[in-house]
Amino acid sequence: MGTARYLEIADAMRQAILEGAFPVGARLPSESELVAQWSASRGTVRQAVALLTSEGLVGSRQGARRVVLRQERRQSFAELNSFAQWAQGLGLEVTSRILLRSRRPATAEEARRLALPEDTEILHVLRLRSLDGEPAMVERTAYADWAAPAVEALPEDCVSIMDAIAREAGIVARYGEHLIDAVPAGAQDADLLGVRRSSPLLRQRHVSCDQSGRPIEWSDDRYRPGSVTFSVSNSTTATPLERHRGSRPA
């Protein structure tokens, strides 16, 4: 009940911000005012506001009233949401197509990232992800041997592998580490993403681990220019990394 309540409050406040009821720079109602308005506990109100803060919509200095920072929703990496969850949260249509699934020995880097002995057999998956019908990202993922059977059982058009294996096999990602850089498009990436060879691609490499810290996947994701951008919002208490929709260059 408490969880549903804070999400209800956050949804209503988010909608008010996105519709312009609170312009950028405007102060939100005080905590006491929100408690009275929603007949909720202070803890519930604080959870709701913390969620909006993690999305980058609001922020504040220590002890000061919270103010609206922007009127567009961004998805914080602090929530460890998948690409599909992020896209769906923005109202985008996300589709995925598995192009290749194959068992093979892990490379030295894959073994190190997945904390496996070298040459352990892993499952390699090549996938094309699209937003609103446009190719957006090529994903190459190595799944640890213990997680491979759950991934092999999924259909080729599975929208979110991580959501599916959490639901079907109880394999849940609780921790992630991300590396971000830029690389030139090779022949395969250029063909799949519809760009020229050597075009710059934003690359995100990440490892996802379960609650015990055991690595589940090591992925190399390459985004079409303009499809997605990343930002970091700094504060004295946190520096959440965010993924949000980009605009393609003319």
Q: Give the count of beta carbons closer than 10 Å to the beta carbon of residue 104.
A: 12
Q: How confident is the model at residue 156 (pLDDT cuts 50, 70, 90)?
A: very high
Residue 220 DSSP code: E
- Reported as half-sphere exposure (CB side, CA atoms, 13 A), residue 172 has a value of 5
Is residue 149 scored above 70 in pLDDT?
A: yes
Q: DSSP states of 143-169 as a string?
A: E-TTTHHHHHTS-TT-S-HHHHHHHHH
Q: What is the structure's pLDDT at 1?
A: 40
Q: What is the mean pLDDT of residues 234-245?
A: 56
Residue 151's contacts (CB-CB under 8 Å, 6 or more residues apart) are: 101, 123, 125, 143, 161, 165
- Residues comprising the chain, all counted: 250
The confidence score (pLDDT) of residue 211 equals: 86
Q: What is the pLDDT of residues 51-67, one digit of tens each?
A: 888 767 787 654 567 88
pLDDT of the residue at 3: 47
Summary mean pLDDT of the chain: 85
CA distance 206 to 196: 25
> How many percent of the chain have pLDDT more than 70?
82
pLDDT in tens, 63-76: 567 888 876 655 55
pLDDT digits (tens, 9 = 90+) for 2-44: 446 888 898 899 888 888 888 888 889 999 999 999 999 999 9
Domains of the chain: 2-73 (1.10.10.10), 77-245 (3.40.1410.10)
Task: Give yes or no for residue 160 having a pLDDT over 50.
Answer: yes
Q: Whole-model pTM?
A: 0.67
